[in-house]
């Protein structure tokens, strides 16, 4: 879901994808509107996934 707005705006222009996401240089307002939510979504997913191992092997968990 985070990639769909970027795909709709940037299309198949590989050079635009590399500039916006590879070099982290969005130039237009529309590019910023697809860049920042995608970056925050990816960071949030990683941060949420990092704490998952902390809940393993607890007595209140079944299985």
The pLDDT of residue 22? 92
Q: Which residue has the higher pLDDT, 15 or 55?
A: 15
Backbone angles phi, psi at 39, to 5 degrees: -65, -45
Over residues 32-59, mean pLDDT = 86
Q: What is the pTM of this model?
A: 0.71
CB 35 within 8 A of CB 26: yes
- d(Cα 60, Cα 46) in Å, to the nearest integer? 25
Residue 50: which pLDDT band, with cuts at 50, 70 and 90?
confident
Contact 6, 12 (CB under 8 A): no
């Amino acid at each position: 879901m985070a990639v769909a707005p970027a795909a709709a705006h940037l299309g198949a222009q590989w050079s635009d994808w590399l500039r916006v996401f590879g070099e982290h240089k969005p130039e237009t307002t529309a590019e910023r509107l697809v860049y920042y939510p995608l970056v925050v979504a990816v960071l949030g997913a990683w941060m949420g996934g990092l704490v998952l191992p902390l809940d393993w092997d607890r007595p209140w968990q079944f299985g």
